[in-house]
Amino acid sequence: MKRAISAMLVTVLALETSLFAGIPAHKSDYVGGTTISIPKQARGELNTDDTKNLSFKWDKGEWTSPYDKVTSLAYGQHAGRRVGATVAWGVTTLGIMALPLLFSKKLRHYLTIEYTDAQGTAQAAVFEVGKAAIRTALASLEVRTGKKVTYEDEEARKAGSK
């Protein structure tokens, strides 16, 4: 019985970080905006490696924007409780042992890119960026676009510049 409980706890702790952490650390999700060429909730990679174009590649397509067409960059983060995860695990498997999930937070990183498209129309794209990719993306975008990132608040400034 003890072995079964121990095995279940180890499994839960391993799964908790992957199942309920949001997007993978090096991936990005398109949240929304005026860009219609990217489907909402598309998951892919925001790539700043090219010296002329920013790109977002997902399994069924690619979006690019020249850096010189970017008009502004903004970064914000939002913390939330894992209420859904706690309820799901509590009801289905763990019962009262799911309560520690309720006290853990998930931090989401949002990047808003405003740019002008090929027709000269102002556009905006909002991405949720994984925690391992956000700092690199912010630094690269500032250098490549020549624009300073506008931070939502002081906490976002600290997180984005660490």
pLDDT tens digit sequence for 126-152? 999 999 999 999 999 999 999 999 998
- The string of pLDDT tens digits covering residues 75-103 is 999 876 545 544 554 545 655 565 555 56
**Is 18 a residue whose pLDDT tops 90?**
no
In this structure, the dihedral spanned by the alpha carbons of residues 154, 157, 158 and 159, taken in order and rounded to 10 degrees, is 120
Fold of 24-79+105-161: PH-domain like (2.30.29)
Q: Nearest 5 degrees, angle CA 76-CA 20-CA 61? A: 65
Strands annotated E in the chain: 28-33, 43-47, 53-58, 61-66, 70-81, 105-116, 122-129, 149-151
Ordered alpha helix ranges (H), 93-153? 99-103, 134-145
pLDDT the model gives residue 106: 75
pLDDT the model gives residue 157: 63
Provide the residue ranges of all domains of the chain, joining segments of one domain with +.
24-79+105-161
**Is 16 a residue whose pLDDT tops 70?**
no
